[in-house]
Every structure is written in structure tokens, then in C-alpha cells.
Amino acid sequence: MTAPEQTIEVAGRKVRRLGFGAMRIMGAPDPLALMRRVVELGVEFIDTADIYGDGESERLIAEALHPYPRQVLIATKGGFIPGKLQPGQRMLPADGRPERLKRVCEESLRRLRLERIDLYQLHTPDPAVPFADSMGALIELRDEGKIAHIGLSNIGRGHIQEALELTPIASVQNRFNHTDRASERVLELCAARGIAFLPWGPLQTGADAPLEALAAETGARPSQVALAWLLGRSPVMLPIPGTSQIAHLEENVAAASLRLTEAQLGRLASA
């Protein structure tokens, strides 16, 4: 089989195809050591958001890594209202008003100690705000030099098509893993348009017999097989597994070296 490409172009940069999602670093025994280990292991794409710890994830990333190594691309997001999920809630409430998106982007710039954010993503569309208005705010931020590239998160194909009528889109970040492939058609559109696809929640919880069987076959952990499957699934895939543990981080990064055969990939695809 042909080995998956080891790098991907996103936001005008080539980065290694296994990134890091910084949602959980606040729970790490030593968040600064964790983030420094991320870079030591060769991870070049770090994804965070303003709601992760109400800005604490961004602050910790800056404290650990600023001034940032030249090869590291920091991406962040805005569009949700910080808080805790209430019983029955699947997502936090959205706020995609242009004035608020501009304000929270400025706050992210300060916390990250950046003059320009390489990739700034609309964290979710706001049903109470016209999508074009939210996009307009990000376009203005880019035109002002505060962000370099625009990404989208938690969106459908229609959002991508509407956004592309207004501006280039560098990335899409939707939930996607071996047991949740609801965004399959979104991934297909991203592949057709050359848009990087950042699967959040790439390491699903719960038993997964096909992954466990392949893990036993390859001598890897099921989580590593899950990441290797994503990397083999599409060349636009850029998984961003997160963790609060250095040992788990090292396991995840090692998954980039796991090569699954076409037959193994096919077994997982049809499972």
C-alpha cells in the first residue's frame, strides 16, 4: 500500500498530519510540561478555543511556548458562550454576532500573545445570526491583519458552500471518528475542495470490536489504530487528539507511524 502523506497544507503552511487539541490541558498535572512535550515530539499544529477553560487553554499555551517555534501553527476558535453544559444540553449556546466575534478574537490575540492568529475558526454557526454576517466579521478581521486564514467548525455542507462564495476556507472541524461518521459528506466536500478536515473527538469512547481486533493484530492500542485509520481515510485529514497525560500524548503521536494495509483499512471502513 501507499503510505499516507506525512504532511498537509493548512492555513498556508505545511504541518505534520497529527496535531494536538488543547481542550483538556487545564486538567494536566503540569500543563506547561505537557505543552512543551507536544512540541518536542514534533507536533506542529495546535488547536484551542476561547471557551476551553474560559481562555485558560490559550493562556497556558502562551506561557509554555511563547515565543512560538517557527514551525508551530496555533489555531483557535470563537463563537460559543463560555460556561458549563446543563443537563440535556449537547452544546453550549452560540453567539455569532459580528461585534462579539471581533471582541473575542481580540481577547484570544492577547491571551496567545500574538499579533496575528494563523487560523481562526468560527466555532459554530449561530441560528440567531445570518451566517453571512458572522463570516463577514471574520473576513474583516483577516483584512485588518488580525487573522491570516478562516476555518469553520460544527457545520454542514451548505455552510461550506455559502462560505466559499464569500472567501477561501482553510479548514473544517467537525466531530468524526470510527463510530461517528455523520460528517462523511462534509469530509467528501472538503477533499474535493482541498480543505483540511480536523476531526474533533477522534478517539471515541466505548468498546469498538473492529478496532480492538486490529489492535491485537498489529500490536498497537485501539486508540492508535483509530488515529491510523483516520490518517488513511483521506489525505485532507488532520486529527487533533487531545489529552492531559504525557504518556497518552506519546502514544497518540506514535500512531502516525502505524501503517494499516488497504485490507485493514477496508475492514474498518465497512465495520
| Helix residue ranges per DSSP H, 144-239 | 157-164, 184-193, 209-218, 222-233
Q: Kindly write down the DSSP assignment for every residue of 242-270, as one continuous string.
A: --S-HHHHHHHHHGGG----HHHHHHHHH
Give the strand pairing for 20-21 and 196-197. Answer: unpaired
List the grid coordinates of 132. Answer: 453571512
Query: What are residue 152's DSSP bridge partners?
Result: 122, 172
Query: Of these residues, 20, 52, 131, 197, which one is catalytic?
Result: 52
End-to-end CA distance of the chain: 20
| Amino acid at residue number 164 | L
Which helix H or strand E contains 100, and what residues bound it?
Answer: helix 98-112
Q: Kindly write down the DSSP assignment for every residue of 2-38, as one continuous string.
A: PPPPSEEEETTEEEES--EE-TTGGGSSSHHHHHHHH
120 is catalytic: no
254, 226 Cβ separation under 8 angstroms:
no
List the grid coordinates of 6. Answer: 506525512
CA 257, CA 196: separation in Å to the nearest integer?
20
* Exposure on the CB side of residue 58, measured as CA atoms within 13 A: 25
Grid cell 483509530 in the structure block, residue: 226
Q: Which residues are catalytic?
A: 52
